[in-house]
Structure 1
Amino acid sequence: MINRVVLVGRMTRDPELRRTGNGTAVTSFTLALDRGFTTQDGQSADFIPCVVWNKAAESTAQYCHKGSLVGVDGSLRSRNYTNNQGQKVYVVEVMCNSVKFLESRREAEARPQGSYNNQSSYNNNNSYNNQNAFGNQQNNYSNQQNTFNNQSNNTNRQSFYDTNSKQVDLDKDFSDDVNAYDIMDDDIQF
């Protein structure tokens, strides 16, 4: 089974460093990820709770703060506990194997501090309110031109033009491919 999560986003609050009973460091934080669209209820970001342990937890708490642009690599974990009112609480979070700091100290200090507002909530009444989550970088795809056309014979077959303007037939039969690999049902391990 595959359980891998890779995210890039901004912290919605300062990371919270705690220690377990035996002194192991654990840091929790929430990442805001830009969806690229706005839902009917006005949400334009997802808020993902993350946890990191040991030395990485200490470094994250020391060098990151609200608004920091970070990349995380880890896995999705679920857990549950009973709160003080006797209710069972279910939590899904990213267990981070690594946290990468994606902006320099100078870039972080140059960013206006008012860019991130506490307005709506996911978990801790924290919000992310920024039009461009990646530090004013713009994606420029002007040198790429991908075009889908209908064939002139009205058979609804489509062709694809790649960046070099070579036509690729999407209905091509690959049976004569010398590098084809034959997979039998009994070869699959699960």
Structure 2
Amino acid sequence: MNKVILMGRLTADPSLRYGQGEKPTAVARYQLAVNRRFKREGEPEADFLPCVAFGKAAEFAEKYFRKGLKIVISGRIRTGSYINRDGIKVYTTDIIVEEQDFAESKAAANQRDHASAPPVGEDGFINLPDDLETELPFT
């Protein structure tokens, strides 16, 4: 059985293209950053997995998914290979998306985005701390 379920954050907005042919099919590609549960020293904290959605799922991803959004997907792993322009065989691994959904509410996503944003004053400018000059590495 080839089945995978992943939850992570989008590293960028999905890209959408349409295949060629009589009935062009929508194809969305996006990368999912999935945190590792157990981390060894010197290893990355997340895996970055390329995902591909087709048809209505691709159009949905392009319309509603944005960088940083936490989503959950289920699908299957597809491996392949091709010969690049230099004549070297390149191996590929993609997650073919069968189902995809939001893993956090819109309110939680907005709260996360605003929590990391610096405070803005009444004049519309970011409020900087008074001792900022001592923290800058280039002063």
Q: TM-score, normalised by structure 2?
A: 0.73
Deviations 1:42-85 (A, max 9, x none): 41111111111000001011100111111111111101122222
Query: 1:87 Cα shift?
Result: 1.9
Query: 1:41 Cα shift?
Result: 1.9
Gap runs ≥5 in structure 2: 117-139
Query: 1:39 Cα shift?
Result: 2.6
Identity percentage of aligned residues:
39
- 2:95, 2:42 → 1: CA distance? 25
Tell me which amino acid in the other structure corresponds to 1:27. A
Tell me which amino acid in the other structure corresponds to 2:64. Y
> Following superposition of structure 1 onto structure 2, how do residues 1-190 of structure 1 map, counting pairs within 5 Å?
2-22=1-21, 23-112=24-113
- 1:89, 1:66 → 2: CA distance? 27
Which structure ranks higher in relative contact order (CA pairs < 8 Å, sequence separation ≥ 6)? 2
Counting strand residues as a fraction of each chain, which structure ranks higher? 2
Tell me which amino acid in the other structure corresponds to 2:18. R
**Residues matched between the structures, number:** 114
Query: 1:114 Cα shift?
Result: 9.4
Deviations 1:100-153 (A, max 9, x none): 1122333222222797xxxxxxxxxxxxxxxxxxxxxxxxxxxxxxxxxxxxxx
- 2:76, 2:106 → 1: CA distance? 28
Question: What RMSD over aligned residues (CA atoms) do the two structures have, in Å?
Answer: 1.9
Gap runs ≥5 in structure 1: 116-190
| Divergent runs of 4+, >4 A | none
